[in-house]
Amino acid sequence: MAQPSSEKTPSVYLYIPNIIGYFRIIINFIAFAVSSTFGAVLDMVTDSMFLSGKTSHKDVKDTGNWLLKLYYGHRPFMAFSCVASEVLYIILFLFADEKSTSLLNVCRCFLKGSPLTFFVFISTLVGWALKQVINIIQY
């Protein structure tokens, strides 16, 4: 008969994948603030798991959080959040000029633009914000 291990298991919050997730969230906020190419690529790489065809990588049946249930339970909402986040990074990169890397200057371009570009910007910003909140909740 096997003897029970006397080693103490670490808290789930200290597991390596969770620590990586914490850094991912911090880096996403930093990358968004500076609108860097690195940030856009980092977000695409970290979200590549959604392309694998899985229905969900988290079991949220027992969670009481309505936002996580909405995110993983309704594919259109998940798709909107993921796509909006990626599109926001792309349009910020495309609208940034070489003279200034300030996020505020890039956002001003959208405020001065047509109603369509303003609507696209606000929609993608909302999707990006929802995705970041969901990332924080699930970790």
Catalytic residues: 47
CB 67 within 8 A of CB 137: yes
CB 112 within 8 A of CB 65: no
Neighbour tally for 94: CB within 10 Å: 8
Nearest to 35 by CA among 117, 79, 97, 78: 97
Residue in this structure with the two tokens 């994948």, named with its chain if needed:
17
Q: In angstroms, rounded to a whole number, what is the distance separating the alpha carbons of residues 136 and 134?
A: 5
Q: In angstroms, rounded to a whole number, what is the distance separating the alpha carbons of residues 78 and 107?
A: 25
